[in-house]
Amino acid sequence: MTDSKRTGPLEDMTIIDCTMAFAGPFGTVLLADLGANVIKVEPPGGDGFRKLPPFPPDHAHVGAEAEAGVDYGMAFAGVNRNKRSICLDLKDAEDKEAFLQLCEQADAVVENMRTGVMDELGLSYETISRRNPKIVYGAVRGYGDPRTGESPYADWPCLDVAGQSAGGLVEATGDLFGLAIADIYPGTLMALGLVAAVHRAQKTGIGEFFDVAMYDATFSLLKSSVAAFGLTGKERNPGARTLVPFGLFPANDGRIAIAAPVERHWKLLCEAMEREELIEDDRTRSNPRRAANFEFTEQQISDWTSARSKQQIMALLGGKVPCGPANTMTEVFADPHVAARDMIQEFQIPGENPKGVLAGNPIKFVNTPTSFHQRPPKHGEHTNEVLTEFGIKRSTED
């Protein structure tokens, strides 16, 4: 359940969050989970991610007219806890001034709009930094911001699948990731970059602008492939094997991952399979030989795993050989590890609704524990509270 007190190693940090959709909010929810005071600034229409299903029961209706009133989809909830939401129309002069006053008292401001949008609103980094020279301004863009490097694609829109593809990830892995990795990883890097820049600003009194491009982030994931191509000039074959066994194998009730390229683990795997002869077999006695004969090697393992359940395989290999069942969400929720690590956390969905659950914070501190102190906010729920807290007055109140 949510706690009332915001705690964590970043509890002295205030962030004005203008991000929407997934990449930016993923980064700012990491910061919020670490204790930062994250103020989510939403336009009158709200973050469009609010309208993505599934919806709580009291919103569970269909049709364009009904959808217009949806304020609280679970996709939005997943990346916006521990934040407060305020509604400001940044095209309105009074709201724009209120936004600048927020920035005057903040450590950082972040956004993931297309290049030039904030500049056209009169809210560029240069404008904000004149009001607060210590401020750090972070941006997530598809292809970066001209301030850090002119890209021929700077003005192009970009979503996850485009970022995965352009950065080389799809060809390196053979397919699109099922999860939005070209949103998740840039958002994570943005959070890391922001903490680093604020750390410097606190020491020097000088803020700065930084950005993370989705293209750059996915490309940077391929560090080993980049180094290999730089040396050989040869494209990587997604079907090639360098570590064997290292992948998914069939069980009679699903799949299981087994990684035993290290000879000690390979020996233990062979013993568990009662196939000790494979330890010294010329085709399988070393990782290079197993890689050269990966079809044979993987077939021997598949023949063994496919006759057993995931649980039976884990009983034989768990704690000895690196392995893990390909768990369904039902199995993850029932796993004692998840409970022991507090990785499922409940909150009360606003309205006449049951409790919802969110994934817990995976960063665990001994001395500065984090908290789930604020459920995902309704649109503009904290406008008056935050403006009063920051000493900002407007002629009209929400």
Write the CATH number for 210: 3.40.50.10540
- Tell me if 208 is assigned to some domain: yes
Claim to verify: residue 261 and residue 121 sit in the same structural domain: no
Write the CATH number for 321: 3.30.1540.10
Claim to verify: residue 109 and residue 171 sit in the same structural domain: yes
Best mean pLDDT range from 52-56, 67-71, 334-338: 334-338
Return the pLDDT at 396. Answer: 61
DSSP calls for 227-246 = HHHHHH-----TT--SSSSE
- Tell me if 236 is assigned to some domain: no
- Tell me if 19 is assigned to some domain: yes
Q: How far apart are CA 53 and CA 67, in angstroms?
A: 10
Claim to verify: residue 48 and residue 189 sit in the same structural domain: yes
Return the pLDDT at 47. Answer: 95
For helices 23-33 and 181-204, the axis angle rounded to 10 degrees is 50
State whether residue 189 is helix, strand or coil. helix
Q: What is the pLDDT of residues 291-322, one digit of tens each?
A: 999 999 999 999 999 999 999 999 999 999 99
For strand 83-87 and strand 37-42, is the pairing parallel, antiparallel, or unpaired?
A: parallel
Return the pLDDT at 66. Answer: 46
State whether residue 186 is helix, strand or coil. helix
Return the pLDDT at 65. Answer: 42
Q: pTM here?
A: 0.92
Q: How far apart are CA 139 and CA 110, in angstroms?
A: 6
Claim to verify: residue 37 and residue 112 sit in the same structural domain: yes
Helix (H) or strand (E) holding 249: strand 246-251
Claim to verify: residue 164 and residue 112 sit in the same structural domain: yes
Choose one of 290, 317, 334: the last residue of a domain.
Answer: 334
Claim to verify: residue 281 and residue 198 sit in the same structural domain: no
Claim to verify: residue 354 and residue 330 sit in the same structural domain: no
State whether residue 87 is helix, strand or coil. strand
- Residue 203 has φ and ψ, to the nearest 5°, of -85, -35
CB 249 within 8 A of CB 256: yes
Q: How far apart are CA 24 and CA 132, in angstroms?
A: 22
- Tell me if 238 is assigned to some domain: no
Choose one of 314, 334, 354: the last residue of a domain.
Answer: 334
Number of structural domains in the chain: 2
Return the pLDDT at 320. Answer: 97
Claim to verify: residue 257 and residue 137 sit in the same structural domain: no
- Tell me if 253 is assigned to some domain: yes
Claim to verify: residue 250 and residue 206 sit in the same structural domain: no
Q: What is the pLDDT of residues 133-153, one digit of tens each?
A: 999 999 999 999 999 999 999
- What is the DSSP secondary structure assignment for residue 279, as one 8-state letter? G
Q: How far apart are CA 222 and CA 240, in angstroms?
A: 15
Mark residue 177 as left, alpha or beta (left: phi above 0; alpha: psi -120 to 50; beta: remaining).
Answer: beta
- What is the DSSP secondary structure assignment for residue 361, as one 8-state letter? P
Q: Which amino acid is at 22?
A: F
Question: What mean pLDDT value characterizes the chain?
Answer: 93
CB 16 within 8 A of CB 110: yes
Read off the pLDDT of each residue in 328-349 and give the average, rounded to a whole number. 96
Claim to verify: residue 147 and residue 289 sit in the same structural domain: no
Q: How far apart are CA 190 and CA 297, in angstroms?
A: 41
- Tell me if 84 is assigned to some domain: yes
Claim to verify: residue 178 and residue 46 sit in the same structural domain: yes
- Tell me if 396 is assigned to some domain: no
Q: What is the pLDDT of residues 59-98, one digit of tens each?
A: 655 444 444 455 788 999 999 999 999 999 999 999 999 9
In the structure encoding, which two tokens stand for residue 84, read together?
């407060």
Maximal C-alpha separation, the chain: 82
Q: How far apart are CA 219 and CA 167, in angstroms?
A: 5
Claim to verify: residue 62 and residue 160 sit in the same structural domain: yes
- Chain position carrying tokens 């009360």: 348
Read off the pLDDT of each residue in 104-122 and give the average, rounded to a whole number. 97
Choose one of 293, 309, 334: the last residue of a domain.
Answer: 334
Return the pLDDT at 172. Answer: 86
Q: How far apart are CA 122 and CA 126, in angstroms?
A: 9
Q: Which amino acid is at 310?
A: K
Could you tell me what percent of the chain has a pLDDT over 70? Answer: 95
Catalytic, 58? Answer no
CA-nearest of 167, 292, 263, 159 to 218 is: 167
- pLDDT above 80 for 121: yes
Q: How far apart are CA 328 and CA 107, in angstroms?
A: 40
Q: What is the pLDDT of residues 161-206, one digit of tens each?
A: 999 999 999 988 889 989 999 999 999 999 999 999 999 999 999 9
Find the domain containing 95 and state its range.
14-222+340-389
- Tell me if 316 is assigned to some domain: yes
Read off the pLDDT of each residue in 92-106 and give the average, rounded to a whole number. 98
Read off the pLDDT of each residue in 210-221 and give the average, rounded to a whole number. 97
Q: How far apart are CA 119 and CA 127, in angstroms?
A: 9
Return the pLDDT at 237. Answer: 76
Return the pLDDT at 230. Answer: 94
Contacts of 41 (CB under 8 A, 6+ apart): 16, 17, 18, 86, 88, 90, 99, 102
Return the pLDDT at 64. Answer: 47
Q: How far apart are CA 28 and CA 112, in angstroms?
A: 11
| Active-site residue, from 33, 95, 160, 183 | 183
